[in-house]
């Protein structure tokens, strides 16, 4: 929350300046969110790979989240995967990731990935899904190696889907230019009733 006010408030800001700046900050936030929603529905970022998984994410995720998925896919270049075995339909893999530390240094980090075939379930040690709500490059790499063309819907959280209309977007705001006509019409009707 403090970061939100950093651009608008300093030690010499008066109360009137604060209210005016807060008002314009909220207006800008509403406008930016409306633009981002419009862009997510009407703009597609081109896929960087031929994996059907990426196409699935492209059609489901908002632009910002899809860019994160593409970063994970770019990370495939630095992965080495080895199947460790299969037990009762559960495949175990070791994925070595060359992680960049600083400008020049690469560090090899080992991650474990387990995949249950029926129903498809992925468990992995980096816990990116729990942390950021997207599957990590390690799990995606293993799934592509296993020939999986799609991921189950449980790995595409509603929070990041572009086809879900958020309830808070139905709330009318004085900054929302689409609701100004409705507000004026309401005021005119209200004035007519007061005259009666």
What digits encode the pLDDT tens for the residues 70-82? 999 999 999 999 9
Q: Does residue 103 lie in a domain region? A: yes
Q: Does residue 39 lie in a domain region? A: no
Q: Does residue 115 lie in a domain region? A: yes
Question: Using CA atoms, how far apart are residues 113 and 95, in angstroms rounded to an integer?
Answer: 7
Under the banding of pLDDT at 50, 70 and 90, the label for residue 187 is confident
On average, the pLDDT of the chain sits at 85
For the chain, the domain total comes to: 1
Q: Does residue 117 lie in a domain region? A: yes
Q: Does residue 46 lie in a domain region? A: no
Q: Does residue 184 lie in a domain region? A: no
Domain that holds residue 91: 52-160
Under the banding of pLDDT at 50, 70 and 90, the label for residue 61 is very high
Would you state the pLDDT for residue 94? 97
- pLDDT for 69 beyond 90: yes
What's this model's pTM, rounded to 2 decimal places? 0.70
Q: Does residue 194 lie in a domain region? A: no
- pLDDT for 190 beyond 60: yes
Q: How many CA atoms within 13 Å lie on the side-chain side of 83?
A: 10
- The pLDDT of 47-52, averaged and rounded, is 95
Would you state the pLDDT for residue 179? 55
Q: Does residue 59 lie in a domain region? A: yes
Poorest-pLDDT segment among 21-30, 75-84, 106-115 = 21-30
Question: Using CA atoms, how far apart are residues 63 and 38, in angstroms rounded to an integer?
Answer: 10
- pLDDT for 35 beyond 90: no
> For a pLDDT cut of 90, what percent of the chain falls above it?
49
């Amino acid at each position: 929350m403090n970061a939100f006010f950093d651009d608008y408030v300093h030690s010499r800001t008066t109360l009137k300046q604060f209210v005016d700046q807060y008002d314009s900050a909220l207006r800008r936030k509403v406008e930016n969110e409306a633009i981002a929603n419009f862009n997510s529905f009407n703009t597609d970022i081109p896929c960087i790979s031929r994996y059907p998984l990426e196409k699935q994410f492209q059609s489901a995720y908002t632009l910002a989240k899809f860019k994160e998925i593409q970063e994970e896919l770019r990370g495939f270049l630095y992965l080495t995967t080895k199947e460790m075995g299969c037990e009762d339909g559960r495949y175990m893999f070791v994925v070595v990731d060359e992680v960049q530390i600083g400008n020049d240094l690469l560090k090899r980090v080992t991650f474990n990935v387990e995949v249950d075939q029926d129903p498809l379930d992925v468990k992995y040690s980096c816990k990116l899904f729990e942390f950021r709500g997207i599957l990590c490059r390690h799990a995606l790499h293993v799934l592509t190696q296993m020939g999986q063309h799609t991921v189950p819907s449980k790995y595409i959280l509603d929070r990041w889907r572009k086809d879900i209309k958020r309830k808070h977007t139905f709330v009318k705001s004085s900054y929302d230019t689409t609701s100004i006509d409705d507000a004026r019409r309401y005021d005119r009707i209200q004035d007519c009733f007061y005259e009666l």
